[in-house]
Structure 1
Amino acid sequence: MKFPEALIEGRLKKRYKRFLADVELCHSGEIVTAHCANSGSMKTLLGEGIPVWLSYSDDPKRKLKYSWQMLQLGEAMVGINTALPNKLVEEALGVGWIAPLQGYAKLRREVKYGKNSRIDILLENEDGALTYVEVKNTTMLREAGIAEFPDSVTARGTKHLQELSDMVAQGHRAAMVFLVQRDDAQRMRIARDIDHAYGEAFDAALAAGVEAYAIGCRLDAGEIVVDRNVEIDFYSAL
């Protein structure tokens, strides 16, 4: 996924009210407020002065002209915009990164299903067979090379796992895809110490026949591209 224009580099001052971040722009020294499209805790990612990259929009309808897209921790680039993973996974499916989810005739996004939910991606065969795909942005890293999800308690995520299990019980396929939006992780695992209920729901979903895959990204100021499969440690200990 290419950005329409190269991102603008800055230094993080602070993130607050979940969806706001103050950033000092490197080219001018101006401090701007950017939209932070990430409702999670962003655990292990935040620190005053870290390099960040913003996109800019001159849309007169927008209150905030800047959007926070990625950050740098050491040598690692990390994508924090949770509005992007569905598009990135769609692109990855289009070029064959998740082999078991290839060969479908139709792909739709944000389709209503389950108990008042929307599935991120719905795949459909020519014979009408359906595969429900839930996408989770994964950015937390507490141990070198290993990304983890979730970074906070997620009742919504647990609900999604249960609803995917329901789809399998109804005769459909269902899959979790963890999009590791950072370039320094080769494996991922469930952060069971952060959300034990999610870990239990994940195990139950696997037992019910829900599939799970993880893919990783390469990021720079011009684009984000899925470039590898990531191994999942399915039953990592607490």
Structure 2
Amino acid sequence: MKYNSVLKAEFLYRKNRFIAICKKGFKLLTVYVPNTGRCKELLKEGTTVFLTYNDNPNRKTSYTLVAVIKGDKIINIDSQAPNEIVYEAFNKNKIDLGFKYGIIKREYTHGDSRFDFYLEGENKKALLEVKGVTLENNGIVAFPDAPTKRGLKHINGLISSSEKYLTYILFVIQMKDVKFFTPNYVTDKNFSMGLLKARNAGVKTLAYDSIVTRNSIEISEKVPVILEETWNLDLQRN
């Protein structure tokens, strides 16, 4: 996935969940933030960020914040990116689900849930939900960075579908060079315990990291997953 018209700027502050103020030279820019998570460890005053520019007159702001520099990492925070790069990766057979899939459908409804992907092949049918991960501390990455009732609903939907489908939840880590993925028990214990319940019901949890540049992101390699509360860390501390 590639972005057009990317420029470097300095993050100043977040006005609300969707809007931030950044600075380019002496010019202040009103910027759309495509991520409703807290991102407190990323969006700090003075942080270098990357913005895309779009001159569509129907937009409230011409700029969108898509990536952040944290230490030696570029972290993509675009919440639309994970689904896009997973779709690209499926079409290149880069994600191992344990079977070869030839049919790929997006936004698939089953029961009272809508899942990101439906896949079919080798007489097998699968449902898969995607979650983007931006929270990192010392190489450990976790989800969520804010409580998510919607995320728990997706888990329960996968559990209830497990008798008829192969079921997966795929965490897309929107950065490179991490040690492992774990649920964030500190921030959302219900979601984290839900992942354990899902595993016991047959839902498979996968995590892949990403190659991120200032103007692109793509799926890279599988990352180890630890679902137990062994690493009960406050990942949003400095």
Q: Calculate the TM-score normalised by the size of structure 1.
A: 0.91
Find out whether 1:93 has 2:86 as its counterpart: no
1:112 correspondence with 2:109: yes
Residue 141 (structure 2) aligned to one of 116, 141, 147: 147
Q: 1:175 aligns with which of 168, 183, 188?
A: 168
Aligned-pair CA distance for 1:23: 0.8
The RMSD of aligned alpha carbons is 1.6
Residue 190 (structure 1) aligned with residue 149 (structure 2): no
SS in 1 for 2:152: helix
Query: 1:157 is matched with which residue: 136, 143, 151?
Result: 151
On the 8 A contact 2:5/2:53 being kept in 1, the answer is: no
> In the alignment, which residue of structure 2 is the partner of 1:216?
209
Q: Which runs of 4+ in 1 moved over 4 A?
A: none
Residue by residue over 1:32-75, the C-alpha shift from the partner in whole angstroms, topping out at 9 and shown as x without a partner, is 11110111111421210100000111112212111110000111
Query: What secondary structure, in the 3-state scheme, does the structure 1 residue paired with 2:49 have?
Result: strand
Distance 1:49 1:91 in 2: 34
Q: Distance in 1 between matches of 2:208 and 2:30?
A: 31
Query: Corresponding residue for 2:131?
Result: 136
CA distance in 1: counterparts of 2:183 and 2:59, whole angstroms: 36
CA distance in 1: counterparts of 2:149 and 2:215, whole angstroms: 34
Percent identity of the aligned residues? 29
Question: Contact 1:132 / 1:175 at 8 angstroms: preserved in 2?
Answer: yes
In the alignment, is the contact (CA less than 8 A) between 2:74 and 2:214 conserved in 1?
no
Paired residue secondary structure (1:233) = coil
Structure 1, unmatched stretches of 5+, are none
The C-alpha deviation readout for 1:167-199, integer Å capped at 9, x for no partner, is: 103x21110000000123231111112111111
Determine whether 1:22 maps to 2:21.
yes
**Which consecutive unaligned segments of at least 5 residues does structure 2 have?**
233-238
Name which of 91, 114, 121 aligns with 2:117: 121
How far apart, CA to CA, are the structure 2 residues paired with 1:194 and 1:8?
33
Partner of 2:80: 83
Q: What is the Cα deviation at residue 126 of structure 1? A: 6.7
- C-alpha deviations, 1:71-91, integer Å up to 9, x for none? 001111111110111011112
Aligned-pair distance for 1:6? 4.4
- What letter corresponds to residue 8 of structure 2 in structure 1? E
Q: For the Cα contact (< 8 Å) 2:48–2:68, is it kept in 1?
A: yes
Query: How far, CA to CA, are the matches of 1:221 and 1:227 in structure 2?
Result: 16
What's the secondary structure of 1:97's corresponding residue?
coil
Indicate the residue corresponding to 1:236 in structure 2: 229
Partner of 2:52: 55
Shift of 1:124: 2.1
Matched, 1:39 2:39: no
After TM superposition, the score normalised by the length of structure 2 is 0.91
